[in-house]
Amino acid sequence: MQKFILFTLVIIFTISCKKNTDTPKQVLITQKVPEIKDGLMTPEALWYFGRIGEFLVSPDKKSILMTVTFYDLDENKGNSEIFIIDASTYEKKQLSFTTKSESNICWKPDGKTFGFLYPDDNDEMQLFEMNTEGKDRKQISKIIGGINGFFYSPDSKNILYTADVAKTQTQTYPDKPKANVRIIDELMYRHWDTWVESYSHVFVAPYSGNITEGIDIMKDEQWESPVRPFAGMEHITWSPDSKSIVYTCRKLKGLQYSKSTNSDLYRYDIGSKKTINLTEGMMGYDMNPVFSNDGSKMAWESMKRDGYEADKHRLFVLDMKSGAKTELLTDFDANAYNITWSDDDKTIYFTTDWFGSQEIFSVGLSENKAKRITEGIHNYSKLRFTGDKLFAFKQSMSKPIEIYQVDIKTGKDKEISFVNSELLAKLKMAKVEKRMIKTTDGQDMLTWIIYPPDFDPAKKYPTLLYCQGGPQGMVGQFWSYRWNFQIMAANGYIIVAPNRRGVTGFGMKWLEQISGDYGGQNIKDYLSAIDAVAKEPFVDPTKLGAVGASYGGYSVFYLAGMHNKRFKAFIAHSGIFNFDAQYLETEELWFPDFDYGGAYWEKNNPVVKRSYAASPHLMSDKWDTPILIMHGEKDYRISYTQSMQAFNAAQILGVPSKLVLFPEENHWITKPQNAIVWQREFFDWLGKYLK
């Protein structure tokens, strides 16, 4: 049995039989933490890290609110609490002490109090408020069914909130109340991990201490804002004069909705109650509107092509008076995320994927030229600009997200949140090295090499090829709670993580090579990376493995049929095995339409012909290497039946194989104990065949 030590964490939980509006009774809890032997990462330690969820700078720029989630492995759940940080001294104080999670923190315009979501006595999410001392906690809304998110209007007279509206049923049978049936007559009937039985609408209500209902500004519409599946309140904003709301929406239905990415920005006028489309005729994703401080302009992220979810995130600015739209940085061959305005509205700051890291850039509206602010081995995100200070999330392969202050002149930063400093001090972190590897077509490919802690170059190590998902997602300096390179290295493996063709951060040509060519150059890139590193004297070329999820899972299935005895073990999570079945099983049809070239029956289309010929199931008769296959049964992007097919093929062919299914998980593994089991299965399999 694994030994445990008691580690006292200053988290206070509320234990009270009274209503949430009462003063909480506070009880100090000690949390069990696994012993960290020899400073090496364990699955349990990975789930002990505090995870920062949100952070906001106060209107007076003097304070920062943040939420932090801590997980209890025994209870198999997490709990989020609110903290406040002094923006000058960086002193941190916990403000909430409850048994259920606070979320969606939002400053009131006066900066003296703030709101947040919290479950009421009926377990429905409602708006609560408290002051910056953590006192005077009170419930503000009593919306039947609860709310999903909210914003105060800048003048404090109104709030907007989002709430679910039931989908209109086309047919019912009231005389058969015990029947349990879904009657479906159009796409998209399920999305990501949820059956579509409701839509999130935007509501507006006068602000008071007892908000019971608001006006549905999307009344009778069968579509949602924020846009499914991952968007949050960044899809919606108030105008600074409080006279209008701008929201993101894809106003399409059925087959059109499943095949199109054409979301637009809609402006709802509070006075006239009229809605206009601000981005009509712009055919890709338009999203994440951000007003300038004076309200004269609005910036947003825009994709050009309908149906291409990985298109370039262009930076657009709308003049609210003239209606003129201007694209900035037309010659900048990279994306613009996390847009934020400087206080004087002359400069826009943003982040982008940039050759293996996520960096902060700026663009002056008068110069219209990208200026790089930061440089290093890190990923920045979620920018908050205050005068001459810029605050941001920062993470790397060696450290989870913390909040940093960034000097906009020098690019230097300093940590201010220190949520995980004590735990990090107990762990030995693996060395992360950037290496350029030549591909078969003579290109330089940035590849990350991660070495075990206490690496000894005189030894020979088993080595893993990490296959990135997406497929259009850069192998940057991310910290994952599942595909964590530090825990892989702590188990004695070298990791090879190439930025193969098809990832962001290296220009659009590098990105788009993969579409319509899944089994082509990017697979060669994988082999170039592992072959180059396998020549090193410290790598045991007889103990190579390949692992990956989603498109990375597809990559593993594909490599299993053509790797020519390179690998001794494979692990695929949520991978695509059968392209024909995948086309009809997935929910967002625009994805295979663009990346495969269309449906499998379009046999005269050369892109379709090439794409479907690269389906792993067509090469499974060549499988000869042990393979572990894992999947979540609530994964509707890549159905778990794909993994069942792959496992069945391996079993029929006599290939050593195991199938691990998680009935309650989606495309990821989100529950703590499931994640621990996932890690154990992962390393048990590798240990059996590579050690």
Cβ burial, residue 365 (10 Å; 0-12/13-18/19+)? middle
Structural tokens at position 269: 């006028």
| CA neighbor of 94 nearest in space, from 23, 21, 11, 27 | 11
Burial of 349 (0-12, 13-18, 19+ CB in 10 A): buried
**629 vs 168, residue with greater confidence:** 629
- The token duo for 95 is 């403000």
Does position 416 have pLDDT exceeding 60, yes or no?
yes
Q: Please determine, for residue 334, whether its predicted confidence score (pLDDT) is greater than 90.
A: yes
DSSP character string of 585-654: H-S-THHHHHHTSS-TT-TT-HHHHHHHHT-GGGGGGG--S-EEEEEETT-SSS-HHHHHHHHHHHHHHT
- 24, 97 in Cβ contact below 8 A? yes
Q: For residue 16, with 0-12 CB atoms within 10 Å meaning exposed, 13-18 middle and 19 or more buried, which class applies?
A: middle
Q: Helix 551-560 vs helix 521-534: angle between axes, to the nearest 10 degrees?
A: 70
Burial readout 187-226 (b: 16 or more C-beta within 10 A, e: otherwise): bbbebbbeebeebbbbbbbebeeebeebeebbeebbbbbb
pLDDT at 133 over 50: yes
End-to-end CA distance of the chain: 23
Amino acid at 500: R
Q: Within a 13 Å sphere around the CA of 565, how many CA atoms are in the beta-carbon half?
A: 1
Q: Which tokens go with 125? A: 């999410």
Task: Please report, as a single letter, which amino acid is at residue 186.
Answer: E
Report CA torsion sign: 650, 652, 654, 657. positive
Please give the helix or strand (H or E) that residue 107 lies within, else none. Answer: strand 103-107
CA 305, 309, 530, 398 torsion-angle sign: positive
Q: Which CATH number fits domain 430-690: 3.50.7.10, 3.30.420.10, 3.90.1300.10, 3.40.50.1820?
A: 3.40.50.1820
CATH code assigned to 329-427: 2.40.128.660
Do residues 72 and 31 lie in contact, with contact meaning Cβ atoms separated by under 8 Å? yes
**Strand spans (E) along 29-76:** 31-34, 51-57, 63-72
pLDDT value for 33? 61
Is the predicted pLDDT of residue 590 greater than 90, yes or no? yes
**Nearest-angstrom CA–CA distance, 278 and 301:** 13
pLDDT at 32: 54
C-beta of residue 94 within 8 angstroms of C-beta of residue 29? no
Q: pLDDT digit string (tens) for 357-390?
A: 999 999 999 999 999 999 999 999 999 988 778 9
Task: Measure the CA dihedral 408/411/414/415, to 10°.
Answer: 90
**What is the rounded CA–CA span in Å between residue 194 and residue 182?**
13
What pLDDT, on the 0 to 100 scale, is given for residue 171? 80
Q: Let me know: does 563 contact 538? Beta carbons within 8 Å.
A: no
Specify which residues 555 forms β-bridges with.
none
What one-letter code names the amino acid at 45? A
- Report the pLDDT value the prediction gives residue 483, as an integer from 0 to 100: 97
Give residue 652's region: left, alpha or beta (phi > 0; psi -120 to 50). alpha
- For domain 141-175+186-314, say whether CATH 3.20.20.80 is its number: no
How many other CB atoms are there within 10 angstroms of residue 311's CB atom? 21
Q: How many Å apart are CA 679 and CA 451, to the nearest integer? A: 19
For the cut 80, the answer to whether the pLDDT of residue 396 exceeds it is: yes
**How many alpha carbons fall within 13 Å on the CB side of residue 523?**
20
**CA-closest candidate to residue 333, choices 467, 510, 174, 194:** 510
Location of structure tokens 């700026």 = 362
When the pLDDT of each residue in the chain is averaged and rounded to a whole number, the result is: 94
What is the C-alpha to C-alpha distance for residues 666 and 646, in angstroms, rounded to an integer? 18
Is the pLDDT at 15 greater than 50, yes or no? no
Q: Which helix (H) or strand (E) holds 204?
A: strand 198-206
**In which band, very low, low, confident or very high, does the pLDDT at 211 lie, cut at 50, 70 and 90?**
very high
Averaged over 292-310, what is the pLDDT?
Answer: 98
Handedness of CA 551, 556, 557, 562 (dihedral sign): positive
pLDDT tens, residue by residue, 559-575: 999 999 999 999 999 99
Cis peptide before 174 (omega within 30 of 0): no
DSSP SS3 for 681: helix
Confidence of residue 35 (pLDDT cuts 50, 70, 90): confident
Residues classed as catalytic: 550, 635, 667
| Percent of the chain whose pLDDT exceeds 90 | 92
DSSP 8-state code for residue 412? -
Sign of CA dihedral 295, 299, 305, 306: negative
pTM of the predicted structure, to 2 decimals? 0.94
CA 146 to chain centre: 24
Mean pLDDT of the 226-254 span = 97
Question: What are the tens digits of pLDDT across the range 528-558?
Answer: 999 999 999 999 999 999 999 999 999 999 9
Domain ranges (residues) in the chain? 141-175+186-314, 329-427, 430-690
Residue 8 has pLDDT above 80, yes or no: no
